[in-house]
Amino acid sequence: MYMNAGYLNNSLVDFKDKTKPLVVGSCGTYRLYNRPKLPTYRPRGRLDFQILYVSSGIAHFHFDHAENDTIVPAGNMVLYRPKEFQKYEYYAADQTEVYWVHFTGGNVTNILRSYGIRDDMRVFYTGTSLEYERLFKRMISELQHCQANYKEMLSMLLRHLLILIHRQLSRQHTRKNEYLEREMDLAAQYFNDHYNLNLCIEDYAASRGMSVSWFIRNFKEYTGTTPMQYIVSIRITNAQMLLETTSYSITEIGNIVGYENPLYFSRIFRKQKGFSPSAYRKQI
């Protein structure tokens, strides 16, 4: 096993320090290759915060309870907050390599939030990068050599790491928004082009590789209505136009906009407009 670590004031005891906004207490790395397992068990957690970066292999984390087993692969970071239950293991068979940093301060929670790390985030994908490793190694070196202003340098290096994390999280959010916008635009256009057909929301969602609940939830967030409400709105709007500008019968108009049953069409129209189709046409 390879390990390298540095500790503030050469002390392995965790501590809480609110005299400064951000204080790095320790930093290190583990890489397993000849030791079968490296476990960590802290049922009462620690007094400080900890970020762990899985740079290769996988790690096993047991959040909240020892029975829970969450496999965290390379390219993810894990955040522990003060006094949170901690239990995790690394296995040589998984070729695990992990970097970690412990930190405290009087404004840590707000600092994390400012870099896009919400209070409910425990595991977040950041991708693998030599830049992350370089920053961890720099913090280890600063803790070991204690050169002039090293505490300030440690705080700056940790902020540098948090900035890189924030940029990665922001890119993920942007990509997610671009994907959502494209998919919801496609769905709205499809419904506009085929509103008069017998549309099945489940079939459409499946054709785009989406679960029905996910699609409905995001379509409503994007348009303000559910997919079916959106389709009904298009049908009734077009029926309204036909009632105003043509002499087609109510049954014919219902068929044109997608309703084979004239009674059902009248009921839906009344629900949307407050009048039956025939009453609406007489009013016009």
Q: How far is CA 171 from the centre of its chain?
A: 11
Q: What is the DSSP string of 176-218?
A: HHHHHHHHHHHHHHHHHHHTTS---HHHHHHHTT--HHHHHHH
Same domain, 153 and 205: no
Same domain, 18 and 67: yes
Please check whether residue 108 lies inside any domain of the structure. Answer: yes
Domain containing 274 — which CATH number?
Answer: 1.10.10.60
Give 211: exposed, middle or buried? Use CB within 10 Å, 0-12, 13-18, 19+: exposed
Number of independent structural domains in the chain = 2
Same domain, 214 and 127: no
Q: Which domain holds residue 232?
A: 195-284
Domain containing 164 — which CATH number?
Answer: 2.60.120.280
One pLDDT digit (tens) per residue for the chain, 284 residues: 789 999 999 999 999 999 999 999 999 999 987 789 999 999 999 999 999 999 999 999 999 988 999 999 999 999 999 999 999 999 989 999 999 999 999 999 999 999 999 999 999 999 999 999 999 999 999 999 999 999 999 999 999 999 999 999 988 877 778 888 899 999 999 999 999 999 999 999 999 999 999 999 999 988 889 999 999 999 999 999 999 999 999 999 999 999 999 999 999 999 999 989 999 898 87
Its pTM stands at: 0.67
Token digits of residue 54: 């899985």
Please check whether residue 186 lies inside any domain of the structure. Answer: no
Please check whether residue 178 lies inside any domain of the structure. Answer: no
